[in-house]
Every structure is written in C-alpha cells, then in structure tokens.
Amino acid sequence: MQTQANRSGPVVLYEGARLIAGDGSAPVADSAFLVENGTITKVGKKGELTAPRGAGHINLTGKTVMPTLINAHGHPGFQRGLTYSADNFTRENIIDDLNRALYFGVAAVQSQGIEKGEVMYQIRADQEAGKLGGARLHIAGRGIGAPNAGPGGAAYAGIAYEVTTEDQGRKAVQELAGKKVNLVKIWVDDRNGRAPRLPPDLFRAIIDEGHRHGLQVNAHVFYYTDAVELVNARIDAIVHLVRDKEMDDALVASVVQHNVYVMPNLSPERGTHAELPHWLQDGDPLMKLLQESVSPPVIARMKKRYENRDAAGVERARTQYGILQRSLARLAKANAKITLGCDTGLEDYLFGMSEQHELESMVGAGMTPMQVIVAATSRPAEYMKLDKMGVLAAGKEADFLVLDANPLDDITNTRRISKIYVKGAEINRASLRLSLTKAFTN
C-alpha cells in the first residue's frame, strides 16, 4: 500500500479539542491549532487564532488530541498469521507490521538489531522518498554480541554479529555505519546461560566506535552489574530493565546523571495473569482494535495462552515482575529518560497492540498518565532524533491522534482512536483496516 491518507487542504484550523502537547506541559482545554502544508504553525485557545481566507476548519469539540505514539524497540517482519519464522521476513510482511502499528496510533518504530539483508534499508529509503506509508521505520541493522548471545529464537538464527575481539567489534560498527543505520544494538548478558557475556573491554570498544561515527549504542541487559558498567561506559540506552535485582538509588542516579534512555519493556506482565486479562476480553478498546486488524485464529491463540495456568508459575512471574515495577517507579521518581520500547514483534506480541498495552503497564507500575504520554511521544522522538515529531507545537509536523476520551483520566483512552493524522493528512483507517485483515492470514 503506497499511502493510507486523505489529504486535507494546505491550511486547516482545528478547534475545540483538549490538547495534550506531549512535552509534559499542562493540557490546553478548548484549544485551537493551525496546520499549514503538514506543519503546525500556531497553537492557542479557540477564538484566539485566526486562519487565512479559504482555510479549512475542523471542529474537534469533545475530543482530545495528542501526538502519535513512537515505539523505540521493535522487531518487525517475523509473524504472519499463526506462523513465526525467518521465511516471513519479507518486504510485504514488514510493511504489514508498520501499517498495523499505524492503525493503533504508532507513527514511528525503531527496529532493534534483528534485521537481515537489504529489505529494511529499502523500506526506509522508500518512506523517506515519500513512496511508502505506514509507521516510519528506523533501523539498527545487525546487532552485535558474543558467540551465541544474540536473539535466541529459531527465526533469528545467524543474524547477529558474533565478536570475540575489540577489532571485530569495531569492524562491525564500521560496517553498520557505512550502511547508515540509525543506531547500534548490542547484547551483553549470557542469555540465560547459553552464551558467554560480552566482556566490558569489548562493549567499551563498540560504544567508543559507535560514538566516533555519531551513532548511539544501545544494550540489551539482564544483570545489574552489566547495567552499572554500561552506564559508566557511556551507553546511550538500555532496552530492558535490570531483571536479576531491583535497580537501586545509586544505579538510578547514575542513569540520570549520564542521560541514559531507559526502555522498561514490561512485556513479562503477561505472565502475571491467572486468567484472561481484561484487554483480551470483548468490549475492551484494545480488543476492539485487535478484532479490526488481526485474524480470529491469532486472537484465539492469544486467549488460549491464559487457560489452565499453573498457579506456582503465575506467582513466580508476579515476583519477577515486581522487580521491574519497583525499578520503573524509582526511575520515574528520579525523572529518568523513560522511553516507550516494548520488544514489539515477538510472537503474538503484535505491533500496535503491544505499545498500547505497555502504556497501561507503565501506569500500573507507578507512572502518571502524563509521564507515560511523555515517554511515548516527545521522549522517543528525542531519542530517535525525530526533530519534527513527538510534540504538538509550532514548527512540528502535524502528527496527532484524535481520541474520544481523555487519557489523563485513564491511560487506556489512548486506544479510543477517532482519527489519526500524519503530516496533516488524515489516515484512511477503513482502507488500512481492510489491508490488514487480508494480510494477517496464513
């Protein structure tokens, strides 16, 4: 699908909505904002802004507007219908994932190192040339780790660089820089004992080489001790929370001091339910979005995972998940750079659905709805260097959601999407929905 947008006129005045800018500032009730050729040029109150003669006018009274969501940690291309395999990693399937993300309100996705061949680079180039729609794609190319320390699923075999010397690590970064990746991804832990850890001298060399080429370097972490050393080595982001113990005040303070972005990735929350969670039940707005964009057999399998759950296993999951929640609460209290990034694209952890679910999980861990909105909009835009996205302000692109209810009252209201605009153009969600239901079958 080349485009999913209905073009409005070159100048449009939007009036009446509650406006949440995305930067943490107080919402503007009964707002007005002017969009000219896809860019916001003025923001204020209804009645205070005037539009040029001939401008369009859209009444949004009773609605809430906020920036589109941005996901800083995804893995597109591996699931198609009920299958999850390397064979699914095709241009068509990757585009389907990006379109599904957009349908759920996600306008940009950072892929994090599980990529092969040239297809991702081609998709990014086509989007930059205006030939292709969907959520905007940023790429990391092949991630880097110790032997057998990359992503562990069968679908990912052979993708990661495997390095044992500083020179190999630097050469991998140089190759990625030559392909103009948006960032570099490394795995440092022992992957549950199946691989050696990436030694500090190697990850310091990779970080140094990345910075020499103007590239951020991000780390998949598990252990507290690795996180401490990575932060001191000037890592730019950690794409999971520490999972062997709670992040203490010392580590949190170091994260803040070094301006490290942190992606909570609260996907383990799924293991804490002894029965079907509300967001997979009929009537929930997230289930409504799923039913509109995903085939029934996939939804049925997702529900089936919650049947006959082992009580002891659920209790262990809750104990482990509590570590993540408490760490995230500490980070939020310290005003760390918390960024939406939830490992989207793992099996049955679908694009769009996962990001929307993560927002609710972040609030459940102690963040306020406003903090979560910042983490899902302006913060990932800053992290991904999307200078024109993430905030509804003059000079920014008109990328925004029109919602039927206020997410500051209940964060799940981000799922109650009335309309989506990208660069001032309304997304044709009916057409997009049709393409998605056709695509996500075996």
357-393 pLDDT tens trace: 999 999 999 999 999 999 999 999 999 999 999 999 9
- What span, in angstroms and rounded, lies between the C-alpha atoms of 221 and 98? 26
411 vs 153, residue with greater confidence: 411
Give the bridge partners for 184, in sequence order: 217
CA distance 419 to 389: 17
- β-pair type (425-427, 5-6): antiparallel
Tell me how far apart the alpha carbons of residues 299 and 34 are, in angstroms, rounded to a whole number: 40
Ranges of each domain in the chain? 5-66+391-439, 71-273+299-383
* Cα distances (angstroms) measured from residue 59 to each of 20, 49, 156, 402: 17, 14, 48, 11
Beta bridge partner(s), residue 419: 402
Question: Among 221, 324, 330, which residue's Cα sits nearest to residue 270?
Answer: 324
What is the separation, in whole angstroms, between the first and last Cα of the chain?
19
Domains 5-66+391-439 and 71-273+299-383 share a fold: no
Taking only the tens place, the pLDDT of each residue in 320-336 is: 999 999 999 999 999 99
Query: Which region among 6-15, 106-115, 216-225, 424-433 has the lowest average model confidence (pLDDT)?
Result: 6-15
DSSP labels, 77-108: TSEETTEESGGG-SHHHHHHHHHHHHHTTEEE
| CA nearest to 89, candidates 154, 182, 175, 162 | 154
Q: Classify 374 in phi/psi space as left (phi over 0), alpha (psi -120 to 50) or beta.
A: alpha
Higher confidence at residue 9 or residue 361?
A: 361
- Amino acid 152: pLDDT: 82
Q: Does 178 score more than 80 pLDDT?
A: yes
Classified by CATH at the fold level, domain 71-273+299-383 comes out as TIM Barrel (3.20.20)
Mean pLDDT across 199-217? 98
Asked if residue 86 has pLDDT above 70, the reply is: yes
Strands 216-220 and 400-403: unpaired
CB 379 within 8 A of CB 110: no
Q: Alpha carbon 233 to chain centroid distance?
A: 25
Say if residue 2's pLDDT is above 50: no
Nearest to 279 by CA among 350, 228, 182: 350
Global pTM reads 0.95
For the residues 230-244, what does the mean pLDDT come to?
Answer: 96
Question: Mean of the pLDDT values across residues 419-434?
Answer: 95
Fold entry, domain 5-66+391-439: Urease, subunit C; domain 1 (2.30.40)
Q: What is the DSSP string of 358-423?
A: HHHHHHHTT--HHHHHHHHTHHHHHHTT-TTSSS-STTSB--EEEESS-TTT-GGGGG-EEEEEET
Name the pLDDT band for 440 (thresholds 50, 70, 90). Answer: low
Report the chain's mean pLDDT, rounded to a whole number: 95
pLDDT of 230 higher than 90 = yes
Closest CA to 280 of 363, 372, 365, 357: 357
CA 29/CA 61 separation, integer angstroms: 10
28 in Cβ contact with 64 (< 8 Å)? no
For the sheet containing 136-138, what is the strand order? 69-74, 106-111, 136-138
Calpha distance 96→92 (Å, rounded): 6
Dist. CA 366–CA 326, nearest whole Å: 8
Kindly tell me if the per-residue pLDDT of 442 is higher than 80. no
